[in-house]
Amino acid sequence: MNLKVKDIMVTGAFSALYFLCVGLGTLIGVFFDKSGNMMYAPAFAALLAGPVYMLLIAKVGKFGAISLVGAVMAGFFFLSGYMTASFLPSLLFGLLGDGLARLGSYKSKVYNLASYVLFSFGNLGPILLMWFMRDAYEAALVARGKSAEYIARVLLDFNLGNVLWLSATIVTAAVISGLLGQHLVKKYFDKSGLLA
pLDDT digits (tens, 9 = 90+) for 8-20: 999 999 999 999 9
**What type of residue is 47?**
L
Residue 130 has pLDDT above 60, yes or no: yes
Q: Over the stretch 25-52, which tens digit does the pLDDT of each residue have?
A: 989 988 887 666 678 889 999 999 999 9
In Å, how far from its chain's centre is CA 25? 10
Q: What would you report as the CA-atom Rg of the chain, rounded to the nearest whole angstrom?
A: 17
Most confident of 88-92, 113-117, 131-135: 113-117
Q: Over the stretch 47-81, which tens digit does the pLDDT of each residue have?
A: 999 999 999 999 999 999 999 999 999 988 888 76
Per the CB < 8 A criterion, the answer to whether 69 and 94 are in contact is yes
* Residue 129 confidence class, pLDDT cut points 50, 70, 90: confident
Write down the pLDDT at residue 157: 75
Q: Angle 159-162-163 (CA atoms, 0-180°, nearest 5)?
A: 80
Select from 21, 45, 38, 40 the least CA-distant residue to 137.
38
Please list, in sequence order, all residues whose beta carbon lies within 8 angstroms of the beta carbon of residue 185, skipping any fewer than 6 positions away.
51, 54, 55, 58, 195
State if pTM tops 0.95.
Answer: no
